[in-house]
Amino acid sequence: MDKNSTPLITLNQSLHASGRRMTSQRALVLKILEESTEHLDAETIWERAKAQDERINLATIYRTLIVLKEMRMVDLRYFARDHKREIYEPTSKPEHYHFTCTKCGNITEFSTNRINRMRSQLQNEIGVVLTHTCVCLEGYCHRCAEKNTHNTE
Ligand SMILES: [Zn+2]
Ligand SMILES: [Zn+2]
């Protein structure tokens, strides 16, 4: 195998470990997610996938996302406490968190080592092993917060 294709080798190994094959549809969905700078829900992924492969339907997109999640290549995230907004992100993205504005729906991404610090602290204090941390941050973005103080609505 080519020495320069390290990411590909890693990819093949993780595929092999999960016992799943990388089909063209799975590769397409993953590519759409990795190339996107925005956060995508299943419908948006479907619209972009259709442009490449018109036979693809929404049910296939959902099935593909479930498999990619099982393969640990995609993360499902909820952007509101009501869990009505589901978006998908490739796990290749570095760890980050989201703030959702409940007024305009804007999502701000940020990373912080404070949450990691809190995790290790908690692990020691309560003697557990954390495998997943969900952080839900909601409120007003700076634009909406400004409007709120200036308007008397
Ligand atoms: Zn806002
Ligand atoms: Zn994100």
Going from the Cα of 89 to the center of ligand 2, the distance in angstroms, rounded, reads 7
- Ligand 2 centroid–CA 150 distance in Å is 30
Model's pTM, two decimal places?
0.69
Segment 23-74, tens digit of pLDDT = 889 999 999 999 998 889 999 999 999 999 998 999 999 999 999 999 989 9
Q: How far is the CA of 92 from the centre of ligand 2 (A)?
A: 11
Q: Return the ligand number nearest the Cα of 143.
A: 1
Q: Which CATH number fits domain 94-153: 3.40.50.300, 3.30.1490.190, 3.40.190.10, 3.50.50.60?
A: 3.30.1490.190
Does domain 1-92 fall under CATH 1.20.1260.10? My reply is no
Are the CB atoms for 32 and 40 separated by under 8 Å?
yes
- CA 120 to chain centroid: 23
Domain boundaries, the chain: 1-92, 94-153
Tell me if 97 sits within 8 A of 135, measured CB to CB: yes
Ligand nearest to the CA of 93: 2
- pLDDT for res 16: 53
Distance 109 CA to ligand 1 centre (A): 14
